């Protein structure tokens, strides 16, 4: 599933493509001020699936881990970008982490880190 990340002036625009599990047609617009930390690759946190799919290494949907809500969208955990968020609101959930599969996670991580204050 193709995902696109655009770095805007004040936020990261993440197009998740056509996610069959969550209504995120407009993607996510995450302000840089909501990003607390950025990592890539492993480890993927143990998480309980609330809504979505969990098949082998593939995860897509809403998960619960360490008392917080997380969004996971990836097929290969080695090619993941992890954004630790400051209670970013998505619908009725405050999201503490977004893990998204991308082709070049290290490069994207570096570019976002340069914009996070």
User: Per residue in 18-39, pLDDT tens?
Assistant: 665 556 667 889 999 999 999 9
Predicted local distance difference test score (pLDDT) of residue 61: 86
30 membership: H or E segment, kind and range: strand 28-31
Predicted local distance difference test score (pLDDT) of residue 33: 93
Q: Report the alpha-carbon distance of residue 65 to residue 34 in Å, rounded.
A: 19
- pLDDT, tens digit, 9 for 90 and up, residues 36-93: 999 998 877 778 787 777 777 788 889 998 889 999 989 898 999 999 999 898 888 9
Q: Are 1 and 17 in contact (CB under 8 A)?
A: yes
């Amino acid at each position: 599933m193709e995902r696109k990340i655009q770095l805007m002036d004040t936020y990261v625009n993440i197009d998740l493509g056509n996610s069959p599990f969550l209504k995120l047609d407009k993607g996510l617009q995450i302000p840089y001020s909501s990003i607390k930390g950025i990592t890539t690759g492993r480890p993927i946190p143990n998480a309980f699936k609330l809504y979505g799919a969990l098949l082998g290494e593939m995860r897509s949907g809403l998960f619960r881990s360490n008392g917080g809500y997380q969004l996971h969208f990836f097929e290969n955990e080695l090619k993941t970008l992890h954004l630790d968020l400051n209670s970013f609101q998505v619908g009725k959930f405050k999201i503490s982490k977004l893990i998204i599969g991308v082709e070049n996670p290290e490069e994207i991580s570096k570019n976002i880190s340069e914009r996070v204050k």
